[in-house]
Amino acid sequence: MEDLMQRIFRWTFLALLILSASMLYAQGTGTITGTVQDSTGAVIPNADVTLTNTATKTASHTTTNTNGDYLFAAVPPGTLDLRVASVGFTTFEAKISFCACQSAPAWMPR
């Protein structure tokens, strides 16, 4: 009888573990991409882009490429602060309510 109870416990534990993992996976992550441009539409290469999760204060940093593009991969959903800075331009800041599978563009006014 005790052996049967241990088997039931193991299978129940395994089922709950699988269910928990699938629930975490369902929340998912997304990618934030964009192109940094000035007010005339010209791209801004080598701009510093920072993405900060407001709940955890975790920051990720990247630099735009020669086309002014940036990318943040595997971003969990939440409220984020986006900051773009480049020499000779006003720093751009925005608050983003991010859900998985979204894209967030940014431009920088002169």
- Domains of the chain, start order: 28-98 (2.60.40.10)
Q: In this structure, are residues 51 and 43 in contact, taking their beta carbons and an 8 Å threshold? A: no
Q: In this structure, are residues 73 and 79 in contact, taking their beta carbons and an 8 Å threshold? A: no
**Per residue in 13-58, pLDDT tens?**
444 434 444 344 445 888 888 889 888 888 999 999 999 999 999 9
The pLDDT assigned to 98 comes to 84
* Element (DSSP H or E) covering residue 51: strand 48-53
